[in-house]
Structure formats: C-alpha cells, structure tokens
Amino acid sequence: MTRHTHTHEEVTREDRAAPAHPTGSARRRRLIAAAGAIVAMSMALAGCGLGVTTNTDGTGTNDASTGDPTFTGAWAEDFRLQYDGATAAGNTFAQDVLRDGSITEAEATEAAGRFKSCMADAGYHYDYVNPDGGMQMQGGDWSDTEEQRHRDAEQACDESSGMRWISALYAAVLKDPDGELRDRDPEQANHDLAACLKRHGVVGDDFDESTMPGVDESGDTAYRFNQQFTEPGGKYYSAQSEQLYYLCLADPRQ
C-alpha cells in the first residue's frame, strides 16, 4: 500500500494564485505544493510550520455598524483574505474562527476533524489529519480517474470543513509571528532556502540558485525541482536529506 502524505499549503494558496495542479498517476505530487512551492512555503499565507496563533499576531475587532472584523498586526492581511474567502463561500464556522484574529489549537483541530469525517464519508479514510493540515492515508495504485475523484473530494471537504481558510494560517503564524519570512521577496526566499540546504549539507556550496523555480513557475516545474530532494533516485535524495529539505522549506532559519 502507498501512503499518501501531504501538507495543506497548496490548497490555501489557490486563493491568491490558483496555480495549476499536476494531474496523472504521479500520486506523490500531493506531497508538494503546486506552483511556486519553494517561494510560497515561506511567504504570505502559504508559510508552513506548526503552532498556535495568538491575538498579538492578527487581532480582530468588529465594526459596530457592520459586524465586519478589522484585523491588525503582522498577519492582518492574511486574516482578512481568509475571512473574506470564508464569507464568500458561506462557511460560518471558519468566519467565527477567524473573526477575532486568532486561531486556537482547538479550533484548528476541529477543522481537521471535520475534514477527516467528510473524507471518510466520501470513502477515503485518513490515518491522521493534523491541525496544521498535514495528513496521511493509505492508498493503492490509483488510476487517473481515481486521482481526480480524490482531488475533487479533498477540495469539497477542504471547503466544507473550513480547513481551506484555517489550517495554513494557523500553521504559519507561530513559525513567523512577526512576518519576517512572510514579507520576503521571491529572490530572497529562494536564497534563504538554498543557504539552509547548504548549511545542512543537503547540497554543495556550488548549488545554483537559478535552478530554483520562481513564484510564477508551473506546478510541474516546482514538482520536478522538489522531486530531486523527495523521490528515491533524485539528485539530492536520501531519507535524511528529504527531512532536512522539508525543515528548510518550513523555516530556512533553522
């Protein structure tokens, strides 16, 4: 059996860029965010990591006349973006979670539980779904049709559960409460990732940063780059290098 494991950042990033999602029988593509994976993992809402947010990161107050929250703090723009997305979709659960400018562990855990139950109802039973959006399920050799059916179910459950607007933001803020990683430009983000990979010996000092996909690259381009670190036979692959690669994606300051 094949384990299908991935993080949740690729879903929320669709709200900003709507990158093309790879299709076909390469099931492990769900390990990797679609387009701009290298840059977006450490920028804006797509940042990845674990933790609990606090009100100091994106405090929300309600406008007395409209009931619409006003967000402040380093992550205010992202709370605004996700709150508006949840509002447009009519997801009152996500709205209520985001309204105060914070996401507690209990709230993110509830969203994850809703997603897991929804997917079970669709016939997909996950081993776990974490509050930060990391998840794993057992799977076989899926056809293209089954791949598409699974993606469709994920998208529907992602929205109905509220995870679309909650999980990645919840995951991002503790790693980067002051927005230091969030506010970098794409070139700096790639440079920081490369420096982290070099520092941990995943790549050599001669690693060429120009080979790293930019924020506007296609999902296939980003996937092929990631594959060098995450797939057996990849240029830089080893079990340890794969772990270090994901650590550097999550926080290149490590």
Q: Which residue has the higher pLDDT, 218 or 202?
A: 202
Q: Which residue has the higher pLDDT, 60 or 44?
A: 60
pLDDT given for residue 162 in this prediction: 97
- If one counts the domains in the chain, the total is 1
State the pLDDT confidence band at 141, using cuts at 50, 70 and 90: confident
Average of pLDDT values for 119-127? 95
User: Is the pLDDT at 76 greater than 70, yes or no?
Assistant: yes
- For 22-59, letters b (16+ CB in 10 Å) and e give beeeebbbbbbbbbbbbbbbbbbbbbbbbbbbbeebbb
- Residue 3, strand partner residues: 138
Q: Which residue has the higher pLDDT, 127 or 139?
A: 127
% of the chain exceeding 90 in pLDDT: 50
Q: What is the DSSP letter of 16?
A: T
Q: What is the DSSP letter of 32?
A: S
% of the chain exceeding 70 in pLDDT: 72
Average of pLDDT values for 110-136? 95
In one-letter notation, the amino acid at residue 126 is Y
Q: What is the β-pairing status of strands 69-71 and 60-62? A: antiparallel
pLDDT given for residue 41 in this prediction: 38
**How does the average pLDDT of the chain come out, rounded?**
78
State the pLDDT confidence band at 61, using cuts at 50, 70 and 90: low
Note down the domain range covering 9: 1-254
Average of pLDDT values for 28-34? 30
pLDDT given for residue 179 in this prediction: 86
Total Cβ atoms within 10 A of residue 212: 21
**Nearest Cα residue to 212 out of 202, 224, 230:** 224
Structure confidence by residue, pLDDT tens digits, 14-26: 332 222 222 233 3
Confirm if 180 and 42 have CB atoms less than 8 A apart.
Answer: no
State the pLDDT confidence band at 174, using cuts at 50, 70 and 90: confident
**Nearest Cα residue to 41 out of 7, 82, 87:** 7
Alpha-carbon span 72 to 76, nearest angstrom: 5
Q: At what angle do helices 76-89 and 163-175 cross, to 10 degrees?
A: 170
Residue recorded with tokens 């994976």: 37
CA max distance for the chain: 60
Structure confidence by residue, pLDDT tens digits, 143-156: 989 989 999 999 99
pLDDT given for residue 64 in this prediction: 43
pLDDT given for residue 134 in this prediction: 87
Q: Which residue has the higher pLDDT, 214 or 54?
A: 214
pLDDT given for residue 177 in this prediction: 85
Residue recorded with tokens 């929804």: 118
What pTM does this model have?
0.65
